[in-house]
Amino acid sequence: MHDDRSITEHRLRRVLQERIKPAVHSRPVPLTVERWQAPDEPVPGADGLAATYEPCAIGDAWGPAWGTTWFKVTGTVPAQWAGRTVEAVLDLGFDRMMPGFQCEGLVHRADGSEIKALNPYNDWVRVADRAEGGEQVHWYVEAASNPVLVDHVPTYEGDRWTSGDQPLYRLARMDLTVFEAEVWELVQDLEVLYGLMTQLHTEDARRYEILRALESALDDLDLTDVPGTAAAARERLAGVLRAPAHASAHRISAVGHAHIDSAWLWPLRETVRKVSRTASNVVDLMDRHPEFVFAMSQAQQLDWIKTHRPGLFERVKKKIVDGQFVPVGGMWVESDTNMVGGEAMVRQFLYGKKFFLDEFGIETHNVWLPDSFGYTAAMPQIVKLSGSRWFLTQKICWSQVNAFPHHTFWWEGIDGSRVFTHFPPVDTYNSDLGGAQMAHAARNYRDKGRGSRSLVPFGWGDGGGGPTREHLARARRQRDLEGSPRVEIERPDAFFEKAHAEYEDAPVWAGELYLELHRGTYTSQAKTKQGNRRSESLLREAELWATAAAVRLPGFAYPFEDLERIWKTVLLHQFHDILPGSSIAWVHREARETYARVREELQGITLAAQRALAGEGAEELVFNCAPHARRGVPAGGAGRPAEPGRPVTVEERRGGGYVLANGRLRVEIDGRGLIVRAYDLEGRRESIAPGAAANLLQIHPDHPNMWDAWDVDEFYRHRVTDLVDLDRLELAESGPVSVTVRVTRSFGASKAVQSVTLRAGAKTVDIVTEVDWHETEKFLKAAFPLDVKAERTASETQFGHVFRATHTNTSWEAAKFEICAHRWIHAQEPGWGVALLNDSTYGHDVTRDVRADGGQTTTIRLSLLRAPRYPDPETDQGHHTLRYCLAPGAEIADAVREGHALNLPERTLTGAAPVAPLLVVDNEAVVVESVKLAEDQGGDVVVRLYESLGGRATATLTADFPITAAVESDLLERPLEGSAVAAPAADGTVQLALRPFQILTVRLHRA
């Protein structure tokens, strides 16, 4: 037989697009349309309904960037349509290829209740299932004219203050139509079979059976009367659609989904509306399709619906009770996981799961993070302690170099905890359930022969929209179809139960799930990152001192509601396109403003508690919030600081510069203002490599191949400029307590002023770098070439640290050319090491070289600033203050202590007498992460600790208040079985035993 495949396939594509799809909605009757342009920001629905409308016509331009236009549509169903299914088609001017990234609408009834949303793949609204004729249409469409910002080119449309005011869209269609159900079903038949056929091998007989059936169907279709001949065409397809799947066919659990970025190419306020639009579509679809199941992951988004659309929220709650609308994930938002602090990650689960329990009585069991940019190795333990059992991710398929070896596996964290994990082989979290994607999922699944099933999240996402009736039609047809995987719509937990049962001995992946892409997100939008780090620290302070005051001072009110509200604000801004710096200018401008308000409010809470604890008096007291004693002031207490130790001396260095010494360190700054020696007098070791210079600012060109704010590509290293030209070198401070050398440099259009300080008694060199940054597409680094032969470095992560190789033996190590660390990174050879500490920098890189003298130089660099132009063309422009420290001779324990000290500065007040710590732990390896009152407001004190060095530890916890019991709890403060906490002794002490990197939450019942 002649091969005419391409002819038939081309024929099908053209007929489907030009004749069959347009025939789905027949006999169009124009609706009457009027419009009202809302001023400035969106208005409440009642205001939109009460506005004065003006006439509007199809083809009219509407919608300046970020504007809201209300359309009133009215009409009457023709009498001759009695008995027919009637739908309105409301096309706002959609680009059919970009759901979620352009104009969208929400349709209201005249009473303000929501009907459903409009988007490019969902532009219809049902008027009557079986019309009587004469039905009145009287609707209002709240239309958002969001600019399209997906082209990866610099644009000022990403902020309402800088965007244009010209209309972006033209009204395309507002019609009443007859919905031709048989034509619609034919479209679904053809698309499913065509998609399946093109995935089958050209030698597979099934491919040709489908081809001939499609050809026969097209032959029977009269293109001048598609509605009248659709049934006959469908009959030609019935046989191939009835053929059952192979017994060994891959099994797909399809879960309705709408990945909605809580901010990205739109601001937070627009996400509030996107969430409502998607939820309205979902519940409308559920009303018509009881088999439909939809998973929604972010508690914050459901809380927005509750706050802004209470009527819709009640509909959602009913569907949750019915089992169709399924909360998943258990987190407040789908956060970044690389940069979020340990306690903040706990609160993501605490407040997320608490919301689901309080509102719906549901305990979520899976963690749903399809789109975050890599996953911390601390996550498995946090997942387990939250009461969750399973983890789902999708983004790891974006890695550029190494294909991840598993799709279903056990993920092992730094403490040894394991969580059953699935990585859907469909390679998208926005599946259309088409034949091509289903075939890809089956082919791509890496665990064949051991596992047989995978999960597919389906529905339009990123900017929302969710599943459509077309998706459900594809699922029905592929439930049991020869040549296709078996597709079944079901709840995520049902998938995980089945996958876990059949593949309990799945392979183990230990350590972080590093994404080999989007490494620039550790650095972009430095002020957003700084705001996050400082907010986390301020929350720790506020909770600690408020707890101490509430326990010790009758009548002091612990600010439960304020702290929860602030925590949720900080958690929202940890969303995986806000904290990573990959959102539009509007988002980051608002983030900076929000962090300023958070700072002011938390400082007020802290100050009120500290004043209450200190009492009235003139004695100067230093409050130490850090988990370790410093300057003689105990952790979590306040008192008089001890004498600083040997005074700092300074002398001029031969050849230019200065020599600073304090009996513990000797630091030489040369005439270029660079640190050329940092000698550990106690360890008798030099930390700077011979002939090298530290605190060297370096600048690189930074023009990644695609994702500007997201990526740094390895080739940025091919060109580097050392910033050694000097404007000024001066001694800024010289005294027995501290000496500061100030270095000023100009480069490009920017300027950097660095203050290098050595303090009396200190084992760190403190550096403050102030940069007036006005570069474009540049990458600023601070280099520290260390005289250390380190095979690996340790980087702080949540509740511990991870080791990473310094070599590039394999492609896996080579791909980690940019890494994330929290407060410190540490390089060590046996017996001696160096730590580099920071107050708000996350991006780092580590390289090693062998010198001519045979020694090895391990160079650690901090990634200070970037200047990508998309999606925010002014990223990081302006003034920045960045603090970091060099700690020669540091062990990991020193890095832990000094990292906390840098990020939790002392506060000085006058008061009556020193304030004793509320809690004392006698082993410095066991770090107190947080102290708070219990969420149930019963008065118990909750303390969260962790083992910080990677070894076993025992410790005694002593409370400075009477306790009756100490109970190990999960992250939701519920008792855990098999406690590592002993009952309190007669003296009130509690004995603790911790595994390496174990997180321990202890609830202390007060007497």
Question: Could you give the strand order of the β-sheet that contains 173-179, starting from the edge strand earlier in sequence?
Answer: 25-30, 173-179, 86-91, 124-128
Query: What distance in Å separates the CA atoms of residue 125 and residue 132, rounded to the nearest whole number?
Result: 17
Query: What distance in Å separates the CA atoms of residue 345 and residue 351, rounded to the nearest whole number?
Result: 10
Q: Is the dihedral of CA 406, 408, 410, 412 positive or negative?
A: positive
C-alpha distances in Å from residue 41, one per residue of 45, 140, 509? 12, 18, 48
Count H helices, E strands: the chain?
18, 52
CB 1005 within 8 A of CB 422: no
Q: What is the token pair recorded at 958?
A: 């002593």
CB 329 within 8 A of CB 367: yes
CB 690 within 8 A of CB 855: yes
Residue 936 annotated in active site: no
Give the containing element (helix H, strand E) for 502: helix 492-502
Q: What angle do CA 757, 763, 768 make, to 5 degrees?
A: 30
Query: What distance in Å separates the CA atoms of residue 915 and residue 637, rounded to the nearest whole number?
Result: 5
Helix, strand or coil, per DSSP, at residue 921: strand
C-alpha distances in Å from residue 613, one per residue of 562, 627, 909, 919, 960? 20, 19, 11, 15, 14
Alpha-helical segments (H) within 406-468:
435-444
CB 490 within 8 A of CB 252: no
Contacts of residue 641, Cβ cutoff 8 Å, sequence gap at least 6: 622, 631, 632, 633, 906
Chain centroid to Cα 445, Å, comes to 26
Helix, strand or coil, per DSSP, at residue 369: coil
29: nearest Cα among 77, 79, 92, 85: 77
Q: Is the dihedral of CA 195, 198, 201, 202 positive or negative?
A: positive
CB 594 within 8 A of CB 565: no
Strands (E), 798-852: 800-805, 819-820, 824-829, 832-838, 843-850
Q: What is the token pair recorded at 526?
A: 């430095």
Q: Which of 175, 371, 845, 872 is catalytic?
A: 371
Q: Which residues are catalytic?
A: 371
